[in-house]
Structure formats: structure tokens, C-alpha cells
Chains A and B, each alone.
Chain A
Amino acid sequence: MITKMNHVSIFVLNQESAYEFYVNKLGFKVHTDAPMGLGMRWLTVCPPEQPDLEITLMPIEEGMMFKGESAKQMRELVRQGIFGFGVFECNDLHATYEELKVKGVEFKKSPTKEFYGFEALFIDDSGNWFSLGQKK
């Protein structure tokens, strides 16, 4: 029986830049940073209070995973901000919003009251968007 999720992938345009964003701006912790040879890297990070959830920062590169035109198409889709990979949670939305803005995170929506609660929207360095809500 499935009990939990332990890996989830976010497709990024550049792993080094994504590291800078998720670790140094969002404050995520590095879970595994393994050089795989030939310039490849297995990099996973986790939100501070979820050490068992590995978020894989997956670079979009032509190879076995993305063949031919697929890599180019995927990169363009990410750049356009098509993908929203999930919803993050914080203790205080307004404080987190102010702090992330100071750190240079781009918000598409400032904290707004919706029928389901308060929400803000930000994008990562690649263009992926995320919802940010406040813990109930």
C-alpha cells in the first residue's frame, strides 16, 4: 500500500541557478548532491520541515530522457511558465512574501484572500510557478 511520496521532480533550465534559487533564496536544504560524471549531477533539495521529501532539480538536457526536439520544446514550455509543480506552505504568508521579495523572488500574485484561503504565486528561476499558502 502506498504510504507516502518521497521524490518529486521539478524541471529546471539550469541546475546551478536552480540550486541558488531553491537553497539560497527559498531556504531549502540540500538532501543529495551527487556528481554523476561527464558534468551531470543528481541534485535533490527538501523544504526545511520535510527532510524526507526529495525534490529533484531535473535539468532539461538532450539525452536519454529527452530525445531530439523534445528537450528544446520542454525548455520552451518551462520558460513560458506553463508548469506549476505544486503548492508550498508557510507559517505566515505576509512575512514570507516580504522576505522572499527582499531576496529577489519574483511574485506573480501578492498575498490575496481567495475563497479557499490566502494565497500568493511566485516563479522560480526557470519560470515554473508555485502557489504559496499559509498553514491553517
Chain B
Amino acid sequence: MTERLFPKIYIYKQMVQAKLFIDNHFAESINLDDIANEAFFSKFHFIRLFKTIYEKTPHQYLTAVRIEKAKELLQTEESVTQVCFSVGFDSLSSFTGLFKRRTTFTPSAYQRLKLQRKQEISRTPLKFVPNCFAERKGWIKKSNFGEA
């Protein structure tokens, strides 16, 4: 608690630097030593501090960032295999397993859902806008989308 009341600013700056390093290099083959080095801490101390601040170990955070990025890329036409390797996984089966554990969907099922939703937004965008806003914006009167 004392540490939170009187924060050591330099520790926060170093931890933020490490987190941003993960955010910017997640697709590369990085390891914990690289990240700890960026923060100028020993591996053990670094993991403990990182977890205190971000509620995840650096490895857990790296995995989370990769899965989040994969979710974004799966909203495009990129293949699941391409996405897997683009975000830094080196095994399709590990990626699929982790993705399903995090999202309850396989990557391909997630992609299908998201692309379907995108098409629906494109075809019938008013379905996604609360009617009160659509009316106030004049989209209902001026609608060319032929909706009921």
C-alpha cells in the first residue's frame, strides 16, 4: 500500500517501457530476457513487478496481446494460418487451442462470425443503430436501404 501511495515513478516508467515493448514487438520471437532487459531488472524482479501492475505475468500479457491482434486480423480475409504466424505464434495447433480457450471460438469460427457481421453491417447498417439516433440523424427518412 505504501508503494502505491508514494509510487516510485522510475519503476512505473520502466514497466510501461516493457509493456510498450511487448505491444510493439509482439509479432517477433521475443523472450522474457529481452523484455526484462528493456526494463533494466532481473527476470524474477521484473515478473513480480509486472504482475503487480498489470495483473498478468509478462508471458501472459504477451499471449493476450497476440490473441487480441489475431482477433483484429481475423476480421479480414486473411487465412487463419497467416494470422497465426503474423501475430507471432509458431504453431497453428497452439494458436488454435489458446484462441479457443480465450474466446470459446476456434479462429475459423470466429472469423466466419465476424465476416458475416461485417457483411450485415454493410447491407443493413440501420440494424446496428438505435432508432432514436437514426431518426435524429435523418437516416430513417433518407434511408435507401429498403428496410421495414
Contacts and interface: CB of A to CB of B under 8 A. Distances in A.
A94 B128 contact: no
B12 A34 contact: no
A102 B20 contact: yes
Contact of B137 (A7, A33, A40): A40
Interface residues of B, number: 24
A94 B7 contact: yes
B40 interface: no
A64 B9 contact: no
Contacts of B133: 42, 56
Interface residues of A, number: 22
Contacts of B92: none
A7 B12 CA distance: 34
B138 A91 contact: no
Nearest to A92: B53
Nearest to A31: B128
Interface in A12-40: 32-37, 40
B137 A64 contact: yes
Contacts of A2: none
Interface in A69-104: 91-92, 94-95, 98-99, 102
B125 interface: yes
A95 B144 contact: no
